[in-house]
A = this chain, B = another copy of it.
């Protein structure tokens, strides 16, 4: 049976989302179909508007409506600590633990298999950020995923910071820590519950 085009269209769009198969996609589409026009229109607008007002913060590369982002421009936050994460989504999880320092979003993880090298990530900007704020920064927490790629990225960032410290001998010694692997290895940071994540922050160890 050929479905009406607009139905087929939306089912196809839903199928592109992660974790949504053909059956779920059809279910979601028919669910919307049964909703009032206004609700469906609201949803459509929310999708269309998503990227219109958003930009990446030039300091930490988090997603934001302002420049610099809310976190970077919040002087109440602890300016002496930077938490390095892979994705903006990770910040939401970490924010729930009560962490009140700054962030730096790498925009992914090093993954040679997918052709992603250090040069594709916001690592250079992190190093120069640390170099410029060397008097303020006391600790860098490496909170990349506890996966192969995440570990590799953490190691690479560690090396780069060490190199920076060798070059700028006047730089205050920065503590570099890695979140504890209380997180299930091979897991994904964004799925961790708040407690596990809090423990992981508490149990961080110096390299």
Contact = CB atoms under 8 A, between A and B. Distances in A.
B50 A47 contact: no
A39 to B, nearest CB: 8
Contacts of A33: 50-51, 54, 63, 88
Interface of A is mostly: helix
Scoring A2, A12, A39, A50 by chain B CB atoms within 10 A of each residue's CB, the highest score goes to A50
Nearest to A94: B1
B31 A91 contact: no
Contact of A30 (B12, B70, B89): B89
A7 B47 contact: no
A168 interface: no
A32 B18 contact: no
